[in-house]
Structure 1
Amino acid sequence: RMRQDVRYRDIPVIMITANDDEENAVRCIDMGAEDYLIKPVNYTMLRARVNACLERKRLRDQEVRYRGRIKRQNDELEERVHRQVREISESQLATIFAMSKLAESRDPETGKHLERMREYCRLLSRQLGRTATYHAEIDEAFVDNIYAASPLHDIGKVGVDDAVLLKPGKLTEEEWVLMRRHPVLGADTLREVDQQHPGNGFIRIGIDIAESHHEKWDGSGYPYGKRKKEIPLVGRILALGDVYDALTSQRCYKKAFSHERSRLIIEEGEGQHFDPDVVQAFREVETEFLRVRQDFQDAED
């Protein structure tokens, strides 16, 4: 009973009995006795056994204290590492976003496009993650990574000549060939980053996003003409957000379309331009898309 009571379980017990049966001694030891003495007791022997029990108790208590101290130190160290990793990650994300904004600044019409794209991707990802089809694939890490990586989708445009990138009129066929290189340029740049600094999940997602966000569900997109689920999920998600943002934004060649008109165009592209599952997710969060559009308005809006 002493061993079952937290108040007494660590107190050493020496059994003193007139029963010299070996089986009885074994049973006492199994029940938790530290030692076993047979009457009549030799007090010199008893003193030695008591001192031995107390020394073992002292060593056990010391080990418990050491383990507790080590655990506290490990917990503090782990928290410090997590805190530093968070600070480094936040710094890296801020740097990458700044670089993406710098690349985007070459096109004066993009406004708060990157801010909206992050929010659109997060909304679509979370909605898809609630479905049975994508529940196992989309977790919070996926959502965090696509949010962090989505600004990288057009980073390859830094390799496109200004005469093509900023041309106000319709592009020629030759110019379209140059423009359509930007997904490959962006993905190749990010692959070099990944090779030099492997292990960043959002960089790997950024590669897929940069390379595949102009692919189409029916295989008519570029750069590789991938179709359906050959296209990475992150690319299928970003493709819808990118088109929605382009439709609802003002450009030199058009006024901003209303949400309703943009929704109809996206629904018309279901199964052709867009993954039907992503379109369905869009329908379910379209009011949130409107909120994002209002929260991150461009200056001309």
Structure 2
Amino acid sequence: MPGMNGFEVLGDLSRRSIIDNLPVIMISSEDSDDVVLRAYELGASDYVNRPFDSRVVRRRVSNTIRLYAKQRRLTSLLSQQYNERVKNSRMLIDIMAGVMELRNGESGRHVTNIKKLTELLLGCLVHRSDNISLDNEERSTIALASALHDIGKMSIDDAILNKPGRLTPEEFEIMKTHTTIGADMLHELGRHHAGNALMEYAYQIARWHHERWDGKGYPDGLKGDDIPIAAQVVSVADVYDALTSVRVYKDAIPHEEAIQMILDGKCGTFNPLLLDCLLEVQDRIAETLARPADVVAFPTI
């Protein structure tokens, strides 16, 4: 390239991630170890010293292209296998969540809404915060795990779960146990999948999505950043959707009123940064919830 040496070209290709999809062979009369090492560090697939035998260079180019083609085929195969596992996981979770919603007497859109709102809020959060770093795959995993936030309600008696009026203090104490019961269920399942991010996020969300920023939530009274960020985000999404949806004990509340109630602390205290995010995305919520369920975003391997 005009005005650029070989190392500058390599650096430019690397910065633009072009070198990830393009094998590059560098030819130079420089043969010091530092120069060769620098070329490899910048992403060169091979390094050829001058003077050279053209037959040897042709063979090395041919070998590099064949190796690259094999790597691409392997990457494609691994991606297909990974995507199939993720699709199966999503299908099973959606089935479990659907069964749970039927028993809860909630609309079939609650779990879908929570997932969409979670992704929307997470997208805003990672752009606003210098301390929270979540890539696309992690955000998709948290959103998928959010579908199991109320899995513990499967153990709550129907008379309490679908009571049309206000719960008594005793009934509310029983209802609160859905957090620890759900977390215990997921912990037991997770024993067979140690280190699985989906199970870890699902556990955090199920146990702590009713915790509040000021420590006045349940079941553990966690406060501030002691509450995992996945649970914090889902708690805001859950409250918003609960307010704006019809329940056996209430009518739906308009969007603007629901937002104001959350900001005013009428549903508990939330992370101020999350409230800022809620304000930022409030005009996109209706559009987001109206879209068909998104296809899972698979990571690039």
Q: Structure 2 length normalisation: TM-score?
A: 0.74
Q: Aligned pair 1:184/2:180, yes or no?
A: yes
- Aligned counterpart in structure 1 of residue 86 of structure 2, from 78, 82, 89: 89
Distance in 1 (CA, whole Å) between partners of 2:257 and 2:98 is: 28
Distance 1:176 1:270 in 2: 18
Q: TM-score, normalised to structure 1's length?
A: 0.74
Contact 1:270 1:279 (8 Å CA) reproduced = no
How far is the alpha carbon of 1:186 from its aligned partner?
A: 1.3
Deviations 1:8-49 (A, max 9, x none): x8xxxxxxxxxxxxxxxxxxxxx9568xxxxxxxxxxxxxxx
Q: 1:101 to 1:271 in 2, by over 3 A?
A: closer
Partner in structure 1 of residue 225 of structure 2: 229
Larger radius of gyration: 1
Residue 130 of structure 2 is aligned to residue 133 of structure 1: yes
1:3-42 to 2 correspondences below 5 Å: none
**For 1:149-197, what per-residue CA distance to the aligned partner results, in whole angstroms no more than 9, with x for missing partners?**
1111001111212222122222223322221111111112222222202
Structure 2 counterpart of 1:193: 189
Which residue is 1:287 aligned to? 283
Which residue of structure 2 lines up, in the alignment, with residue 117 of structure 1? 114
- The residue number in structure 1 matching 2:149 is 153
* Partners of 1:180 and 1:222 within 8 A in 2: yes
Compute the displacement of 1:261 (Å).
1.1
List aligned pairs for 1:209-248, cutoff 5 A.
Answer: 209-248=205-244
How big is the shift at 1:81?
1.0
Instruction: Count residues in correspondence.
Output: 247
Return the alpha-carbon distance in structure 1 between the equivalents of residues 267 and 276 of structure 2: 11
Q: For the Cα contact (< 8 Å) 1:183–1:223, is it kept in 2?
A: yes
Per the TM alignment, residue 100 of structure 1 is displaced from its structure 2 partner at its CA by: 1.2
Which blocks of at least 5 consecutive residues in structure 1 are unaligned? 10-30, 35-52, 297-301
Any conservation in 2 of the 1:128–1:138 contact (CA below 8 Å)? Answer: no
Q: Choose 248-257 or 113-122, whichever is displaced more.
A: 248-257
- Conservation of the 8 A alpha-carbon contact between 1:128 and 1:281: yes
Deviation by residue 1:202-257 (Cα, 9 ceiling, x = unmatched): 22111111111000111111110111111111111111111111111122322211
Separation of aligned partners in 2, 1:237 and 1:263: 15
Q: Distance in 1 between matches of 2:104 and 2:208?
A: 21
Can you give the 5+ residue segments of structure 2 that lack an aligned partner in the other structure?
1-5, 7-26, 28-48, 293-301
CA distance in 2, matches of 1:204, 1:252: 32
The answer as to whether partners of 2:150 and 2:178 remain within 8 angstroms in 1 is: yes
Matched with 2:67 is 70
Displacement, 1:91? 1.4
Q: Report the Cα offset of residue 67 of structure 1.
A: 4.8
Q: CA deviation at 1:66?
A: 4.4
2:191 aligned counterpart, secondary structure: helix
Match of residue 207, structure 1, among 203, 206, 214:
203
Write the deviation string for residues 33-87 of structure 1: whole angstroms up to 9, x where unpaired.
68xxxxxxxxxxxxxxxxxx99xx57x7656544543332232012111111111
Instruction: Tell me the amino acid that sits aligned with residue 144 of structure 2.
Output: A
2:210 and 2:139 map into 1 onto residues whose CA distance is 20
Identity %: 33
Instruction: Give the aligned partner of residue 26 of structure 1.
Output: none
Conservation of the 8 A alpha-carbon contact between 2:118 and 2:233: yes
Shift of 1:294: 4.5
Q: What displacement does 1:272 show?
A: 4.8
Q: 1:144: how far off?
A: 0.9
